[in-house]
Amino acid sequence: MNSIKLWLSAFRVRTLPLSVSGIIIGGCLAYYNGVFDFPVFGLAILTTLSLQILSNLANDYGDGVKGTDNQDRIGPERAIQSGEISPEKMFQGIRIAILFVIFFVFATVYMAFGIHDLLYSITFFILGGLAVYAAIKYTMGKSAYGYRAMGDLMVFLFFGLLSVMGSYFLFAKQIDHVAFLPACVVGLLSVGVLNLNNMRDIESDRAVKKITVAVKLGWQKAKIYHLSLIALALILATLFGVLYYTSPYSLIFFLAFIPIIRHMLIVYRTNTPADLDPQLKILALSTFLLSVLLGLGHIYNAI
């Protein structure tokens, strides 16, 4: 039982709702357009969850063996950092997680396209392979892109554009303009979560030469960058609500603006990196709430 709790902790369960936010929106848009398929939706959720868990384990391993996770790091103690899981066992866990990802990718693609749309299937297999590579190479290896200020771009691409537009394509078999703005919203907010994490760790990352966008910008400019990301996400969400308005329920996602705007005010007033740690959960869950409300509000008239 202790081993199960230990691995669940390494999975960093609190990050999982954020990872499925884009899939939820993609599924809701597909439902509104009459192309939703529940088995595909369920498998897409499982694929995304397995990818996020793989990313969390790889991140724990990469930062752990590099010594980035040390006594100066702020936030919850990680598995390798604490000594509870050895690097060897963590690496084995990563290999098992990759197998789960491969299984769910194949199952999702087969359920979505069958054996007929071979080009689509090959495309999504390639995208799945790139997602696995991105999850692993964030902190693992000498050329880890998370140490070269590339994490923000990759999060926007995979958590935003690919998550929403890719999941919508699984249902509709085509790219639709209706998915673009929500994809950008989720992508920007997800980058905000990553940047918040990097702002919290800005001093310890700088000390071990982990170059993130926050480290490159410095504390004050990183705050401006963070607030700009969130503000732009809220503007694009509002634009989506106006352009694709079908009923007052289309704007119900404005309720999620309340905790997000409060989060922005707290970040603006904060001058101590450690004080940002509680805001990670708040922003991640607020993004999940926004995604659910935006999706459900859009499909209300179709129910």
Residue-level pLDDT at 12: 86
Residue-level pLDDT at 43: 97
Residue-level pLDDT at 70: 64
Give dist(CA 298, CA 251) in Å, integer: 8
Contacts of 240-249 with C-beta under 8 Å, sequence gap 24+, read 240/181, 240/182, 240/185, 240/294, 241/294, 243/181, 244/178, 244/298, 246/298, 246/300, 246/301, 247/300, 247/301, 249/296, 249/297, 249/300, 249/301
Residue-level pLDDT at 7: 85
Residue-level pLDDT at 128: 94
Residue-level pLDDT at 5: 81
Residue-level pLDDT at 141: 79
Mean pLDDT by 10 residues, the chain (303 residues): 77 90 97 95 97 93 77 70 85 95 96 91 95 92 87 95 96 95 98 95 89 95 98 98 92 97 97 92 96 93 65
Q: Residue 185 carries which side chain, given as an amino acid letter?
A: V
Q: Is the pTM of this model over 0.85?
A: yes
Residue-level pLDDT at 22: 96
Q: Closest by alpha carbon to 155, among 233, 255, 96?
A: 233
